C-alpha cells in the first residue's frame, strides 16, 4: 500500500509532540526563573494534548483500515 499523506502528517505530529515534551522536561530542569517554568509548563501541557489528539486520530485511521499497516513494522 502506498504511503498516505494524512498518515505521514499524523506520524510527524506524534514525533513533534514527543519532541515538545522532551524539550519541556529538559528546559524545566535547567530553568533559572519562574517565567521559564511557566513557558515549559505550557509547552509540556501542549505537547501532551497534541500527542493525545494525534494518537486518537491514528487509532481512528487504524480502526477504519486507513492506516498503512507496513508503517508499524
**Residue 5: burial class (beta carbons within 10 Å; 0-12, 13-18, 19+):** exposed
Copy the grid coordinates of residue 54: 494525534
Among left, alpha and beta (phi > 0; psi -120 to 50; other), residue 65 is left
List Cβ neighbours of 2 (8 Å cut-off, separation of 6 or more): 68
* Residue count (the chain): 73
Give me the chain's average pLDDT, please: 90
- Show the cell assigned to 13: 505530529
Give the tens place of pLDDT for each residue, 44-59. 999 999 999 999 999 9
Query: In the predicted model, what is the mean pLDDT of residues 36-50?
Result: 97
Amino acid at each position: 500500500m502506498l504511503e498516505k499523506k494524512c498518515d505521514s502528517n499524523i506520524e510527524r505530529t506524534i514525533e513533534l509532540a514527543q519532541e515538545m515534551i522532551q524539550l519541556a522536561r529538559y528546559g524545566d530542569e535547567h530553568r533559572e526563573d519562574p517565567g521559564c517554568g511557566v513557558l515549559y509548563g505550557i509547552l509540556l501541557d501542549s505537547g501532551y494534548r497534541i500527542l493525545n489528539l494525534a494518537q486518537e486520530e491514528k487509532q481512528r485511521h487504524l480502526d477504519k483500515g486507513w492506516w498503512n499497516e507496513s508503517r508499524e513494522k
